[in-house]
Amino acid sequence: MTKVLAQQLESAFEATDVRPDTGETLAQAACRALRIDIIRGVRSPDERLRIEKLKTIYNVGPTPLREALQMLVSDQLVRAEGNRGFTVAPLDLKEFADLTVARIAVETAALRLSIANGGNDWEARVVAANYLMEKEDAALLKARDGVTDAWEQANGAFHAALVAACGSHWLLRMRDGLHDQCERYRRASIYRKLGERDLHAEHQALAGATLARDADMACTLTERHFTLTASSLAEAASAAGADADA
């Protein structure tokens, strides 16, 4: 992906001091903080992650920071470059296309099981998540600074609610990992397409098909929903390349 697009996708969020949660090591807390900032775009794609700079930003010593960066290398959000240190993994369209294929396969498998197994409590959770999603979709149309955390939280809760009754711990674990990998791509895609995509209609149709127990339709809508995000980002990259060449 071009540097022009990467610059356009940076968010306005600022990092804060790392404070470990109960039972969390300083390295784990630093990993969590860096993960959030990479996904948000605070740490931009291809950015060099210099230890001295990160010490100042996160108020953490060099040893926990190196441990945190190694954890993020395992998660493929950071790249280790031998003696040159660490960089944020780039936004790569081929990588996102591959992630999207995997995500669709896992998400639709979990969704089918959830529709088959879900009871009244699951339906109530879907209805509640859909209500919040509807509000945040409306708010997103008025956003001027990119995709908000509130929208991301509502979107994550909405899709998690749909598959919550699937009954497979391993499917949900794989799904959560793919969700994290895809989030920064999704933020980039939606930011570039604000006002051009009817996310409200997509979410409402998906919730309706799920609550109607129409597994085939719900899975078709899920695949379309995720594929649109991937194509939107590809279009954004193409447009950024054209602007750079102009």
CA distance 132 to 139: 11
Residue 134: inside a domain, yes or no?
yes
Q: Is the pLDDT score of 9 beyond 70?
A: no
pLDDT of the residue at 183: 81
Furthest C-alpha separation in the chain: 56
Do 195 and 99 share a structural domain? Answer: yes
Residue 142's CB is within 10 A of a number of other CB atoms, namely 8
Domains in the chain, number: 2
Do 99 and 23 share a structural domain? Answer: no
40 neighbors 8 (Cβ within 8 angstroms): no
pLDDT of the residue at 246: 47
206 neighbors 126 (Cβ within 8 angstroms): no
Coil/strand/helix, residue 78: strand
pLDDT of the residue at 245: 46
Q: Is the pLDDT score of 232 beyond 80?
A: no
Do 138 and 31 share a structural domain? Answer: no
CA distance 28 to 217: 41
Do 144 and 77 share a structural domain? Answer: no
Boundary of a domain, candidates 88, 109, 127? 88
Residue pLDDT, tens place only, 102-161: 999 999 999 999 999 999 999 999 999 999 999 999 988 887 666 778 888 999 999 999
CA distance 129 to 20: 29
Q: Is the pLDDT score of 221 beyond 70?
A: yes
pLDDT of the residue at 238: 64
Residue pLDDT, tens place only, 165-186: 999 999 999 998 888 888 877 7
Residue 114: inside a domain, yes or no?
yes
Boundary of a domain, candidates 25, 56, 88? 88
Q: Residue 201 — φ and ψ, nearest 5°? A: -65, -40
Do 74 and 125 share a structural domain? Answer: no
pLDDT of the residue at 189: 62
Kindly report the CATH number assigned to the domain that includes residue 46. Answer: 1.10.10.10
Task: Find the domain containing 145 and state its range.
Answer: 93-245
Residue 1: inside a domain, yes or no?
no
